[in-house]
Amino acid sequence: MDGSFAESSEQAHREIPPEGRRRVRRMAWLYTAAAVAMLPWIVYLAETLPKRQFDRHYRAAWVGFDIILVLAITRTAYLAFRLDPKVQFPATATAVLFFVDAWFDVMTSANRSQLLQAVLLAALVEVPAAIFSLYLALQVNRRVLERAHLNRARAPNTRWRSKRRGAAKESVE
């Protein structure tokens, strides 16, 4: 690999003002805390979910899903700590996983108390976490697009522009 990845990361550090870096770090700590908080939840699920409900692997499916969710949250936190613009990808994946988790929690509830618990968890934790993750991804994407536009304005690709101007002149004539 060339040094362009390291250079772009260093450039991102220089271009983001200190207040912006602090805000990003707070977001990274939120993701870290969410990943850590989910670990006891996974252990709880592994111990309390029925071995068989609708499927022979019901418990394994939910525990495995939550482990994947923790991995996505952890990756989001890691890239946020590094101020890496690629954080938008795991943040989007995290949002999707939270929405899916909320949906299946509600849809697989066996009785009213489980349904109430699932709806409360979805409304108070999973859906807000998904929306926050989408917000993070959109903000980073906006910033990346702004930087790309500014970089293109500073150092235009003359070869591309000359081809385009030539094509434009030909179409006018």
Among residues 35, 13, 36, which one has the least CA distance to residue 25? 13
Span 64-82, average pLDDT: 91
pLDDT tens by residue, 25-72? 787 788 888 888 888 888 887 787 665 555 667 778 888 899 999 999
Q: What is the pLDDT of residue 50?
A: 66
Q: What is the pLDDT of residue 41?
A: 81
Q: What is the pLDDT of residue 101?
A: 94
Q: What is the pLDDT of residue 71?
A: 94
Total structural domains in the chain?
1
Q: Which residues contact 63 (CB under 8 A, 6 or more apart)?
A: 42, 45, 46, 49
Q: What is the pLDDT of residue 142?
A: 87
Span 76-102, average pLDDT: 92
Span 155-171, average pLDDT: 51
Q: What is the pLDDT of residue 163?
A: 53
Q: What is the pLDDT of residue 6?
A: 47
Helix, strand counts (H, E) of the chain: 7, 0
Report the mean per-residue pLDDT for the chain.
78
Higher pLDDT, 156 or 150: 150
Is the full-model pTM beyond 0.95? no
Domain that holds residue 65: 4-172
CA distance 87 to 78: 8
